[in-house]
Amino acid sequence: MSTGSPTPAFAAVQDLATRQAHSPIADMFSEDAERVTRFTRRAAGLHLATDKQRWTPEALKALYAWAEERNLLTWRDQLFSMTPVNITEGRAAGHTALRSNGVPAAKKAAETRARLKTLVDSARSGALLGQPVEAIVNIGVGGSGLGPKLVVNALKGPDSLPTTFAANVDGAELQEALKGLNPATTLVVLVSKTFTTLETMMNAEAVRSWFMSHLGEGALAKHCVAATAAPERAEAWGLSRDNIFPFWDWVGGRFSLWSAAGMAIPLSLGWAAFDELLQGAEVMDTHVRDTDLEDNMAVHLALLDAWNRLLGASSRAVVPYASRLAYLPGFLQQLEMESNGKGVTTKNVALEHPACPVVWGDVGTTGQHAFFQMLHQGLEKIPVEFILVANSRDGHDGHQKALLANGLAQGAALLRGKSKSKVREELKAKGYNDQEIEHLTPHMVFEGDRPSTTLILDRLTPKRLGALLALYEHKTALLGRLWGINPFDQFGVELGKQMARTLTPRLEGARDPAFDPSTEALLKVVTDMRQHERQEPA
């Protein structure tokens, strides 16, 4: 399969990318006095600067023409009006309806939110369990855990309820999540769109036993609530209908934190925070929905990612300079890579170029003492996305200033680098002799000319976080459209799950089914080690 010859606007973008792939970013500043403003976008309280990226006004213009060729804004409008843009599953992608009033689906969402608010009030007042809930445990994986975990950790304060998360089928995680909790005052939130996911169902069964052994029969129905698009399965599993909160097939798992799937957020942080999170997302939605290509922040980011891919970047590092955003890179990995890590277009044609880059990262400043070595001196020039928060409500302002100084300095250093002559001069000033200087200089040169983006929030409030996450959602969806793929399905996660189901019996002694020689050999190693352990416990 082949996409054939590229469409005219895309061919122009490709051509320009080939010509500009090695144009120095510093020259772009000297050639364009308006560069900083030209590559700045502001929306929903967020400030986005992409002037340190390797792109020019000419590139932007070509990219806008490509976006028009792709009917990007028409597709955006279809997304907002709940047209079934998820064409492989025949569904709308209605996450924006979860935070708006515009479409009929929003009414359903509002009704569920009203029920959720009653739950949150009764959990906190003591009406739900006969005493106030003291701890929340969220059980759910992928989109049913990553978003709530990110938001709760980003926004928790002194009045928040302690909240733990168990996603993995590794029993160690659930054990840790339940450690020290009093079952009588614990509320467990089971989140699963399908209510069939292996990890979640195994952890749910373990929770059933935990409640049973501590509180006896009947506790489960009281202490467990669920968010799911399969309420009948949750009921059959043993939950009371009153404790089941729906979301719908038109809400993709990785876009679901705004629905009942995010219920750990209001349970943990209180209703006002959740409400404001949704408001912030809605402000971003309005911006994305009502703004033309040129000024649209999500379009800008989507075009940049597509452009960087054409320049050859196979990954993007996301580095929030805020410990509270530690789970953002992990959240974005699912959002972006599960959405756009695909190889076939909506027209059933193989892509000629890989779409989604690898998304990875960790918080600054700690990342500076780990992977930044490679960002500064590795041969690949990996675009970095810095996220800064101007004002912090934590700790001493001295810490905050140091954090900001480091975040800003890293972007500047990646761009400027350090020349040979500068390195020599510095070494000379430190008293090194000529031979030592010759020997050390190549190792201490920073080539510079490395692209980065800086996104700045004035502070990390629920509104700003809502806007930030909605921005990433929109960028991801728009990129899917630009690349011609469906960003809303995820068939790629199925094969491994299927094979795990057939492999499990082999760990239990079955002889079939047979796997490839490598996996057979590994199975034998694992089986032998397990047998040995049983004979001679460590």
Residues found near ligand F6P in the complex (CB under 6 A): 141-144, 192-194, 197, 200, 253-254, 338, 490, 493
Contacts of 429 (CB under 8 A, 6+ apart): none
Q: Among candidates 409, 418, 417, 357, which has minimal Cα distance to 386?
A: 409
Q: Among candidates 222, 235, 229, 228, which has minimal Cα distance to 190?
A: 228
Smallest distance from ligand F6P to CB 193, Å: 4
Residue 302 · residue 479 · CB < 8 Å: yes
Toward ligand F6P, which CB reaches closer, 338 or 385? 338
Toward ligand F6P, which CB reaches closer, 265 or 283? 265
Q: Among candidates 495, 497, 490, 488, which has minimal Cα distance to 197?
A: 497
Residue 497 annotated as catalytic:
yes
Smallest distance from ligand F6P to CB 140, Å: 6
Smallest distance from ligand F6P to CB 236, Å: 16
Smallest distance from ligand F6P to CB 217, Å: 26
Toward ligand F6P, which CB reaches closer, 143 or 361? 143
Toward ligand F6P, which CB reaches closer, 197 or 410? 197
Compute the residue count for the chain. 538
Toward ligand F6P, which CB reaches closer, 194 or 346? 194
Smallest distance from ligand F6P to CB 64, Å: 32
Radius of gyration of the chain (CA): 25
Residue 450 · residue 375 · CB < 8 Å: yes
How are beta strands 46-49 and 452-459 bridged, if at all? antiparallel
Toward ligand F6P, which CB reaches closer, 173 or 275? 173
Smallest distance from ligand F6P to CB 199, Å: 8
Could you say which of 497, 520, 532, 533 is catalytic?
497
Residue 3: strand, helix, or coil: coil
Smallest distance from ligand F6P to CB 364, Å: 28
Single-letter amino acid, residue 515:
F
Smallest distance from ligand F6P to CB 516, Å: 23
Could you say which of 347, 369, 396, 443 is catalytic?
369
Q: Among candidates 247, 329, 307, 331, which has minimal Cα distance to 451?
A: 307
What gap in Å lies between CA 345 and CA 476, rounded to an integer?
Answer: 15
How are beta strands 186-191 and 244-246 bridged, if at all? unpaired
Residue 338 annotated as catalytic:
yes
Toward ligand F6P, which CB reaches closer, 215 or 358? 358
Q: Which residue has the tokens 């999170």?
A: 277
Could you say which of 276, 336, 338, 385 is catalytic?
338
- Fill in the DSSP letter of residue 418: B
Single-letter amino acid, residue 306:
A
Toward ligand F6P, which CB reaches closer, 131 or 504? 504
What gap in Å lies between CA 183 and CA 134, rounded to an integer?
Answer: 10
Phi-psi region for residue 187, left (φ > 0), alpha (ψ -120 to 50) or beta?
Answer: beta
Residue 147 · residue 256 · CB < 8 Å: yes
How many angstroms from the chain centroid is the CA of residue 394? 24
DSSP 282-317: HHHHHHHHHS-TTT-HHHHHHHHHHHHHHTT--EEE
Catalytic residue ranges: 338, 369, 497
